[in-house]
Each structure stands twice: as structure tokens, then as C-alpha cells.
Structure 1
Amino acid sequence: MADLILYQRDYCHLCDQALAVMAEARAPDFDSVWVDDDAGLEERYGTRVPVLRDVRNGRELDWPFDASALRQFLEASL
């Protein structure tokens, strides 16, 4: 399991944008979790997706974020 999880939805254009930003920032490997079919995740993340979570410390980065904000988030997690 990766240290990062990207919570997202199927057919989500914002999620696609977040994936592009993550590629631009050269984010490390991450797991994708879809909230659509999980009532608990839907309640927690439903209106917030995409959300990047660092499972090591519980920090979360909500959309919208750019490559700079993502790099700062990742550096603070080290």
C-alpha cells in the first residue's frame, strides 16, 4: 500500500485535473480509491473530491491544488 491515497470519483473531470497536477509535480506512487460505492467514504469525501491523503500522518489536501501546493504538501509530509 502506498503512503498516499487519492480519493476520487468515476467520470470526474476535477479528478482528471488532479491526476495531471500530480504528474506535473512528479508525485510519488499513490493508490486511487473511488468513493462512489462506499457510504462512509461518500459521506466523508463526497463533496470534497478529489482529496489527497497522506496515510502516515492523516494530512489531507483538498482540491483545488496546483503543482506548487502539492509539492509543499509532500515536503511537509517528509
Structure 2
Amino acid sequence: MVSADDSSKKSSSPFSAPVVVPKDLSKDQTDSCEAVLCLAGGKGIGECLKPLRKYYSLKTKYRANFLKICPKN
């Protein structure tokens, strides 16, 4: 993960600091939010392996519903 104070590493992320998913979410909500952030380019490649593996393991017709599990607030 690239932190805001690590000037030696460059990130293609549009976010200036690491993206952190809240701890009070269920496992499914956490997985969904991480996948949303990865698909938006907000997390590093290593951090995205698990959430994107889960996302792409779903049949195409279920992927949008999986992403909707992430709370908007």
C-alpha cells in the first residue's frame, strides 16, 4: 500500500492517501467495497487480488449485485 507520506513510490491511484474500508462492515460488505475500490483503481495490485478474484468468480449476471452490497454511506 502506498501511504500519503511515501514520496519515493508513485501510485496511479487518484486518492492521495491509502483507502481504508471501515471495520464495522460484514465480510460480504467488506469484500464488495474492496472490489469497488479496486475496479475504480483506488487500491494497489496486491491488495486487489483477493477481492477481484471473488468478483470475477461470480457469474456475470451476479457481479452488479455483489458490488451493490457495499453501503453508499
TM-score by length of 2: 0.31
Structure 1 or 2, whichever has the larger Rg, is 2
Higher RCO (Cα < 8 Å, 6 or more apart): 1
Instruction: Flag the structure with higher helix content.
Output: 2
TM-score by length of 1: 0.29
